[in-house]
Structure 1
Amino acid sequence: MYPEFADTTALITGGGTGIGRAAALALAAGGCTVTVSGRTEQTLVETVEQIEAAGGKARYAVADVSDEEAIQRAVRIAIGDSGRLDFGVNSAGISGGDNLKPFAEYSTEMFDRMIAVDLRGTFLAMKHELRQMATQGFGAIANIASGTSLVGVPGFAGYVAAKHGVAGLTKVAALDYGAQHIRVNAIAAGLVETPVDRRGPVTRDPGRPDRRAPAGADRPAGGNRRRGALPVSSRSTFVTGVTMPVDGGYVAR
């Protein structure tokens, strides 16, 4: 499907479910050896089994993205015997569920958790992916951000802050490493039917703030369904430092 991925390697954080799993399956279908990481071993095993059943190559590393040593270990596993890391897809994250609160009532503990996982976790994954890519002189990273990287969502201060931060980290890394043939971009994903988005307050019914609106109700294109986010390929050599909305028109309102 993507012949440019043949004989490459990738690390996908959050690869046990959702967008991370979809990206892992797509990369592996193109010949990439994929390492999926996450906190739950069972879901990682399931992703690996699906890839291997389709004839692909995969392995897994149990890792909490907020733990730097665990992320370093995951990167080493992804490099393996190849001595290279071609792609990083940083998809691990949490949404905070339906516990929306006005800014002044937002839990400090929840805010800290959002920053630890969604922002610090992305930073740590990028840090150690970039170290390897800088050594080898090439690579591409896709950070799975959110429409909330570009717009605000009432009652969701921690998630919005973390995802805006991911967009900022993407720009900085692209500038720092562009001369070393490393591209870094972010996907501002809209409503995607993953375990996180099924829990998260992505869409609210304006008439009933306590309820989720029908999926896609605030998207001109009627919402989007499950789709994998892939690192920019060799067909996108001039694309770096951008946060690209893939959201059915959500941020274009």
Structure 2
Amino acid sequence: MTQQFASTSALVTGGGSGTGRASALALAAEGSLVTVVGRTAATLKETVRLIEASGGSARYVVADITDESQVEKAVQAAVADTGRLDLALNNAGYDGEFQLTKDYSSEMLDQMIALNVRGVFLSMKHELRHMTAQGSGAIVNMSSGAGLIGVPGYSGYAATKTAEIAMTKSSALEAAPHGIRINAVCPGLVDTPMIATLDADQRKSLDAAHPLGRIARAEEIADAVVWLCSDKASFVTGIALPVDGGYTVP
């Protein structure tokens, strides 16, 4: 079977778990050499192990994406073997916890801005430098349905995810003349180990909030990432794609 990303190089931030890990696995399954980036070596090593066990190729880089020098080194590591950076998923982020705006922790908001805004901005900045020089590339930013609608108790998170969409659109317009596409994915709730700790009534309530009657699997979000990176989305740029089972439908 032909692998659509054969001989390409991909970078995935926040690649140690959840949608980041699922996307790294999906990109590697399509033939890309994947560099996974994050702050925890153990989870990154496990992602690499899973990719290699499936016949793919990967490496990991421990980095804090809020530190520009570390972002630059991570991107350089991703281009080390091929001299190229073809695909990038900026997935690393922080969603915090439920707090009403009147009680919102300034420290939590600062952390969200650092990861969800500064981190994504710095990642795109250094990814685009390589992609512009080579005249091609595809970037996907992991936003959220919270960037499209209001979510009580998550005003800070929603603000940063809306900012990601704005950065996506603005950067897409800048990058288009250079053969680079930039898009965002906006998931609803995704089945994660945290969700598994909820009781049956809580889980039922979350499922019911989505018109399709359930929350997403991480692999379903990864499928959207792969599509946006692929030639099948060759005329798609600057969009914020909901992958949320209808959660954000007005």
Tell me the TM-score normalized by structure 2. Answer: 0.91
Report the AA paired with residue 52 of structure 2: E
Task: Determine the C-alpha separation between the residues in 2 that align with 1:222 and 1:64.
Answer: 36
Give me the identity figure in percent. Answer: 51
Task: Determine the C-alpha separation between the residues in 1 that align with 2:8 and 2:187.
Answer: 25
Where structure 1 has 5 or more consecutive residues not aligned to the other structure, the ranges are 200-204, 206-210
Task: Determine the C-alpha separation between the residues in 1 that align with 2:8 and 2:192.
Answer: 27
Task: Determine the C-alpha separation between the residues in 1 that align with 2:126 and 2:246.
Answer: 33
Task: Determine the C-alpha separation between the residues in 1 that align with 2:157 and 2:203.
Answer: 17
The one of 194, 201, 213 aligned to 1:222: 213
Counterpart residue number, 2:170: 172
Determine if contact 1:146/1:189 at 8 Å carries over to the other structure: yes
Total equivalences in the alignment: 242
Matched, 1:248 2:245: yes
Residues 104 and 2 of structure 1, relative CA distance in 2, 3 Å threshold: farther
Name the stretch that deviates more: 226-235 or 38-47: 226-235
Please state whether the residue corresponding to 1:250 is helix, strand or coil.
coil
Report the AA paired with residue 6 of structure 2: A
* Structure 1 vs Structure 2 CA RMSD: 1.9
Task: Determine the C-alpha separation between the residues in 1 that align with 2:61 and 2:55.
Answer: 20
Task: Determine the C-alpha separation between the residues in 2 that align with 1:86 and 1:194.
Answer: 28
1:120-157 per-position Cα deviation (integer Å, ceiling 9, x unaligned):
11111111101110011000001111100101111112
- Shift in Å, 1:109: 1.2
Task: Determine the C-alpha separation between the residues in 2 that align with 1:198 and 1:80.
Answer: 38
Matched, 1:239 2:230: no
Correspondence 1:199-214 to 2 at 5 A: 214=205
Please state whether the residue corresponding to 1:251 is helix, strand or coil.
coil
Tell me the TM-score normalized by structure 1. Answer: 0.90
Correspondence 1:31-110 to 2 at 5 A: 31-97=31-97, 100-110=98-108
Task: Determine the C-alpha separation between the residues in 2 that align with 1:215 and 1:11.
Answer: 31
Task: Determine the C-alpha separation between the residues in 2 that align with 1:153 and 1:180.
Answer: 36
Task: Determine the C-alpha separation between the residues in 2 that align with 1:57 and 1:44.
Answer: 13
- Shift in Å, 1:235: 1.3
Where structure 2 has 5 or more consecutive residues not aligned to the other structure, the ranges are none
- Shift in Å, 1:213: 6.2
Task: Determine the C-alpha separation between the residues in 2 that align with 1:7 and 1:196.
Answer: 36
Moved over 6 A (4+): 196-199
Report the AA paired with residue 26 of structure 1: A
1:188-247 per-position Cα deviation (integer Å, ceiling 9, x unaligned):
011111357679xxxxx9xxxxx7763322110113222213342111111000000000
Determine if contact 1:2/1:27 at 8 Å carries over to the other structure: no
Please state whether the residue corresponding to 1:215 is helix, strand or coil.
helix
Task: Determine the C-alpha separation between the residues in 1 that align with 2:58 and 2:169.
Answer: 30
**Higher helix share goes to which structure?**
2
